[in-house]
Amino acid sequence: MRAKQMPSSILTRSKSPVILLFAVIILALSFFFFFLFSPSSTTTAAVTVPYRHPSVRPETSFVASLEHFLAHKAPKIPASSDDTVGPMIDHDVRRLDERKFVKEMEWLRGDPYYPMSMPVRVYVYEMPSKFTYDLLWLFRNTYRETSNITSNGSPVHRLIEQHSIDYWLWADLIAPESERLLKNVVRVVKQEEADLFYVPFFTTISFFLLEKQQCKALYREALKWVTDQPAWKRSEGRDHIFPIHHPWSFKSVRRYVKNAIWLLPDMDSTGNWYKPGQVSLEKDLILPYVPNVDLCDAKCLLESESKRTTLLFFRGRLKRNAGGKIRAKIGAELTGAKDVVIEEGTAGEGGKAAAQKGMRRSIFCLSPAGDTPSSARLFDAIVSGCIPVIISDELELPFEGILDYRKMAVFISSTDAVQPGWILRYLKSISSTQIREMRRNLAEYSRHFVYSNPAQPLGPEDLVWRMMAGKLVNIKLHTRRSQRVVKESRSVCTCDCRRSNSTHSNPIN
């Protein structure tokens, strides 16, 4: 018996939903695989994902960050390491130089942006713990001793915090890549792959917390350790980075590392702190002080807007040395003026709270020179949303090649500042529209002055390596020129010595 046949129209209608569903699945899978393996999606992921780290909240307190670092990152038992480097011969330096040449030729042929390409490749020396971890533990175990002050009354541990750029940079460089957010600098483990060499010696902690002779001895040991390295001998230190952020630190041996890149608070062209020829904008880099007050974020700025009733605020020591003598003159001129607060600073948490409160209630914050042309007060004002009034004729500012300070600060010459009534007349002439614009720029700029762990994109650690990238061409140029001169000098010496020996051994000839 023949099977009963169904009309063709009914058969078509019954299959159409299945075919449609199958087609939709195929299309969806096609789109999925296209976006998964397409070059654009891969590139986007590589650029954006590393800059997001929602599970890690950046720590901006030096003490809190250091506590966590020593508890979780520092070796429980310091690794045994020889305090000295074995004797280096010319062969070791030449071998490193040859390996560097091979690598640089690879980059030249394979990277269209070399030598200006990012990321910057940094080799971090693993120095004996007495130069690194031991000094961090020394600070950690003594920082509560607030009675420890310098001769001019400044709290020692507060000064160390303000100049702790050596810690923030090192902690980021040695962190596992999975925890790092900065992608414009990478740590390399082979010296021939390095653009720069970082020396992780805590010069400021050792200066303030060790006895004078003990500190000088440690400086000499660190100097010998570094200058005995083949990489140092190859470049005479030109591609080595030394954190010398406090103007008193490393002072007794600076002349031996004058070719190296110094990380400084300012240039101090007056000659009070650095000898002629030691520092220059060509080779060195200026880094901001670590702020002494908390960041006033967007919410804080909005809430403090109506409370900023003080026209000009200053809290700090009015009597300073060298270039800071102008402070006393300005203080005498402004004390007692309407809508102006000029206060002598005090140490401890009470002084910090008073400074933070005053800055958040003020429109402008006075930032005159200190013992050096720079002052930590400038960066306290920036993160407080208080427009800095900078009075320092010799000041070089951090990251000035990238950041335009005119957009968020007022600059007044020392000559104008001491004229009776000049400062207040000038500040009152600035319109409310200009003030609002400068404050908006302060809110945007503040991120560039807040050190943190993990280091944040566009933070000061990030800008350090962007600035360093611009120095690499000059560093390579000077390194190669010095090698050429030294090599040729040795060749001449060798020839002359042989000729001299030949003459002496054969006097008749």
Q: Which of 449, 484, 499 is the last residue of a domain?
A: 449
Q: Which of 394, 429, 449 is the last residue of a domain?
A: 449
Looking at residue 26, what is its pLDDT? 55
Do 121 and 256 reside in the same domain of the chain? Answer: yes
How many domains, in total, are found in the chain?
Answer: 2
| 138 in any annotated domain | yes
Length of the chain: 509
Do 277 and 136 reside in the same domain of the chain? Answer: yes
DSSP 314-373: EEE-S--SGGGGHHHHHHHHHTT-TTEEEEE---HHHHHHHHHHHHHTEEEEEEE--SSS
The pLDDT confidence band at residue 509, using thresholds 50, 70 and 90, is very low
Bridge-partner residues for 243, per DSSP? 263
Q: What is the CATH number of the domain that holds 411?
A: 3.40.50.2000
Q: Which of 286, 310, 337 is the last residue of a domain?
A: 286
Do 147 and 82 reside in the same domain of the chain? Answer: yes
Question: Quick one: what percent of the chain has pLDDT higher than 70?
Answer: 77
Strand, coil or helix: what is 208?
helix
* Position 169 pLDDT exceeds 90: yes
Q: Cα(238)–Cα(243) distance, rounded to whole angstroms? A: 14
Burial class (CB in 10 A: 0-12, 13-18, 19+), 393: middle
Find, among 362, 368, 377, 366, the residue nearest to 439 by Cα.
362
| 383 in any annotated domain | yes
Report the greatest alpha carbon distance in the chain: 133
Enter the pTM of the model. 0.80
| 69 in any annotated domain | yes
At residue 428, φ and ψ (nearest 5 deg) are: -70, -20
Do 268 and 342 reside in the same domain of the chain? Answer: no
Contact 161, 293 (CB under 8 A): no
Q: Cα(138)–Cα(74) distance, rounded to whole angstroms? A: 13
Bridge-partner residues for 241, per DSSP? 198, 261
Q: Cα(129)–Cα(178) distance, rounded to whole angstroms? A: 25
Do 186 and 113 reside in the same domain of the chain? Answer: yes
Strand, coil or helix: what is 385?
coil
Contact 266, 373 (CB under 8 A): yes
| 354 in any annotated domain | yes
Contact 355, 315 (CB under 8 A): yes
| 160 in any annotated domain | yes
Strand, coil or helix: what is 77?
coil
Do 280 and 315 reside in the same domain of the chain? Answer: no
Do 270 and 315 reside in the same domain of the chain? Answer: no
Do 180 and 140 reside in the same domain of the chain? Answer: yes
Question: In which residue are the tokens 């091979």 written?
Answer: 102
Do 100 and 184 reside in the same domain of the chain? Answer: yes
Do 310 and 195 reside in the same domain of the chain? Answer: no
Do 281 and 302 reside in the same domain of the chain? Answer: no
Q: Cα(352)–Cα(315) distance, rounded to whole angstroms? A: 10
| 98 in any annotated domain | yes
Q: Cα(84)–Cα(394) distance, rounded to whole angstroms? A: 40
268-307 pLDDT per residue, tens: 766 678 888 889 989 999 999 999 999 998 899 999 999 9
The residues, any chain, with a CB within 8 Å of residue 361's CB and separated by 6 or more, are: 304, 307, 308, 309, 310, 313
* Position 470 pLDDT exceeds 70: yes
128-152 pLDDT per residue, tens: 999 999 999 999 999 887 666 665 5
Question: What range defines the domain where residue 439 resides?
Answer: 298-449
Question: What average pLDDT does the chain have?
Answer: 81
| 316 in any annotated domain | yes
Q: Which two tokens stand for residue 465?
A: 């390596």
Strand, coil or helix: what is 250?
coil
Mean local confidence (pLDDT), 11-30:
49
| 509 in any annotated domain | no
Residue 182: CA atoms inside 13 Å, Cβ hemisphere, count?
33
Do 411 and 269 reside in the same domain of the chain? Answer: no
